[in-house]
Structure formats: C-alpha cells, structure tokens
Amino acid sequence: MQEILPCCGSKTWATNMASKRPIADERSMLATSDAIWGSLGEADWLEAFESHPRIGESRAEHAAPAQSSAWSEQEQQKAAAADEAMKTALKWGNREYELKFGRIFIVCATGKSASEILEILRRRLQNDPATELRQAAEEQRQVMQIRIRKWLAG
C-alpha cells in the first residue's frame, strides 16, 4: 500500500489498489485505479487533495511521501518558471479558491503554463461547491493516471 500511495494520497485508494494485486498490465492498472477512485467518497478525495502543494509552492501543507513531492515539482515545472507577477496572481487565486471552497485548488498541471493554470482557476471559481468537488476529483484522477504510468516505469 505504501509503495503506490504517492500516486494518489488517499490511503483508502492505495489499500484498495494493493488488494487487487496482481494487476496484469498498465491498462488494467489504470482501469482499476479509475474504478476505485470513482467508488470513493468526499473524505477520501479530500485526503488525496491534501497530499498536493498549492500551485506555485513546492511542499504540501500536510505530510506527503517524498516521491509525491518530487512528482508535484515536475508537474508544476512550467508554472514555476512564471514571472513574479504571474506567481503573485496564482497565489491570490489560490487564496480566493481556498476561501470559497475550503481546500486547495487541484489541477492536472502537467504541461500547463502558469497563465493557463490561472485561467482554469478563475473559470473554476465560478463553479458551485458540488460541481467544483467533482471537477477537482477529475483533475486528481488525471494526475493519478500520469503518476501511475511513472510509478510503473520505475
């Protein structure tokens, strides 16, 4: 269970994934992950979200496995290269999001620039809480797919 935990951050998800071993191949692993993720509730989703640092930051507020932190840094590479004005805008956007929804902003940041992420954040601030929770869970699912592929590649 601990080996796969950096792919998600939810202990329930990781325990369920470990209980399905052996899993034949990558496609089966990704499908199993999606099925388990879709069966989890809000508390498990929130636990997974807490394993991420805010966009523009390098460390999660709650303890996260070292591999998870390293992957987050890679995923946010383009956003980290932004100028100070953009970093400040992301910081304020993160703060506004947290005030509205009570959790950090989750986005699959891989390959996205800081301006793209800020545009997504601003658009999602218009969501109602239930819609946004589902969107955040979908973004987390996308992150998990990328991380599982990395984890399998070793």
What positions carry a catalytic annotation? 52
User: Using the 8-state DSSP alphabet, how is residue 61 labeled?
Assistant: S
CA 91 to chain centre: 17
CB within 8 Å of 35: residues ≥ 6 apart: none
143: three-class secondary structure by DSSP:
helix
Instruction: Return d(Cα 121, Cα 99) in angstroms, integer.
Output: 13
CB contact at 8 A, 72 and 15: no
Instruction: Return d(Cα 99, Cα 95) in angstroms, integer.
Output: 6
